[in-house]
Amino acid sequence: MRTDRLSADDLVYPIQNDCTNSPNATAHARMGGDLTPVQNQDDNFWGEPIHSYTRAQAVADGVLVDLTTATDDRGHRLCQQAGFKVPVAITRTAWAKTVEAGGTWKPHSDGEVLKLKGGQSLTGRLWDLLWLLRVACSQENNADRVHFQVLVDVHGDGRHETVKLWAHCGPGDDAKPVITIMVEGED
């Protein structure tokens, strides 16, 4: 390209729509340009992915715990009871700090059951977590993330530890909305 002066051959005005009456289209046509709209090339803008890790893989690997199908003692889905219409998952770290905290897994006829101290139950802790998330969501308008906290009685003695959490609603593997609960600082 020459640096002393510009000519019409040095200038390009891309056409981004079919409006050939726009100033850009007129100027571009005057310079002998083609009035064909620029094609959307977003599908390969960044090239091929180097690596991808899906939500389904994270659940299969145990990085996420899927709460969507968690049920109470009568077989009713907790997420539906709490008012969630999209899949909900929690990170393994958030699960350990809120649901499993202070508990031990014991063999049971159906596999293992989480034994908690002080009359607490897995269902009760899950319900508390989901309900507090629901309340936090109802207090936010048009936000894709909410911050909330849960009080956890780790030792079953009535003393509670505060666990700060946040949840994000975004696209899942199939681009449909999903919710992920995380400990503050997790991403």
Cβ(94)–Cβ(186) below 8 Å? yes
CA proximity to 70, closest of 62, 56, 80: 80
Residue 91's SS3 state is strand
Provide mean pLDDT across the span 141-161.
91
pTM attached to this predicted model: 0.72
Domains of the chain by residue range: 8-44, 55-183
Strand 111-115 with 145-152, pairing: unpaired
1 pLDDT tier (thresholds 50, 70, 90): very low
User: pLDDT at residue 127 above 70?
Assistant: yes
Provide mean pLDDT across the span 41-70.
87
DSSP H helices, the chain, are 23-30, 55-61, 78-81, 92-98, 122-139
- Worst-scoring range by mean pLDDT, 26-30, 110-114, 139-143, 168-172? 26-30
User: pLDDT at residue 167 above 50?
Assistant: yes
Task: Look at 168 and 110; give whichever has higher pLDDT.
Answer: 168
